[in-house]
Amino acid sequence: MSRRPVVGVSGPDRGGWVSWVFAALAVWRAGGRPLRIRPRSPRGKGGQLPAVQALVLGGGADVDPGRYGQSVAELRRELQPEKHWPGHYLLGLLLFPFIHILRKLFSLGASPGPDPARDALEERLLGHALEQGLPVLGICRGMQFINVCLGGSLHQDLASLQEERPDLRTLLPRKPVLVEPGSILHSLFGVGRVRVNALHHQAVDRLGQDLRVTAREYGGVVQALEHVGGRWLVGVQWHPEFLPHKWRQQELFRALVRAAKLNS
């Protein structure tokens, strides 16, 4: 049996437990060995980063807007939950009982403010991964952080972009996303349109250096990024770890682990 490559999964010091468990499960199912990396426990010796063969930048707190030349915006209004059809809530409980209940119990649905310690750690992690040619998967905040680290910026409030059509916020895979032909995502999914979940309130604005958009929602909001130089670097705005029963979404983790094995 081949050795499982170590896949670092970044997250905050406080909270983030539910995302970590589901991301770790996805990595393990894909053939990797997940390693949780947080600001207070990067698990390296002498201040060094831990040895990993791939990296997952997880979701969570907003990226510090100072990193892309903005101050923290005061949101003009809170994004309102989608008006569900009558059976939607019941369907959510039937399909995602553990995810739904755990997120409610641990109050992980809200987006906390910036986390400078995490930003600093993930900047080091991403820099190391790019220098060493390690495969990287960015999830939600992770995709946004990749974009910012490579010189891009973010929309701090999606509500300002969607006055006529309020943003869909749902744990269920109900938001349609269009995938660009010729992208890594398209090669993995085998289709040009997929449905994903939506838990974010920010999005990519100005694109970072050497990145290209590989998926958008119908309203034009960026839903996925990839590196243009042939690196295995993929960012998705949704949470594939919360869709363990969707083989296309889990293929993201399988492809990440395959790329890690090729580099090890």
Tell me which residue of 183, 176, 260 sits closest to 225, measured CA to CA: 183
Interacting residues of 125 by C-beta distance below 8 A, sequence separation 6+: 8, 10, 37, 49, 55, 57
| Catalytic choice (100, 140, 155, 201) | 140
Active site residue 122: no
∠ CA(86), CA(88), CA(93), 5° rounding? Answer: 125
- Whether 53 and 132 have beta carbons less than 8 Å apart is answered as no
Tell me which residue of 257, 215, 259, 208 sits closest to 238, measured CA to CA: 215
| Catalytic choice (100, 155, 201, 239) | 239
Active site residue 227: no
Instruction: Report the distance separating Cα 58 and Cα 226, nearest Å.
Output: 16
Please name the residue that has the structure tokens 């991964």: 129
Instruction: Report the distance separating Cα 169 and Cα 185, nearest Å.
Output: 22
| Catalytic choice (122, 217, 226, 241) | 241
Active site residue 149: no
Instruction: Report the distance separating Cα 257 and Cα 55, nearest Å.
Output: 10
In the beta sheet, which residues pair with residue 192? none
- Whether 201 and 110 have beta carbons less than 8 Å apart is answered as no
Catalytic residues: 140, 239, 241
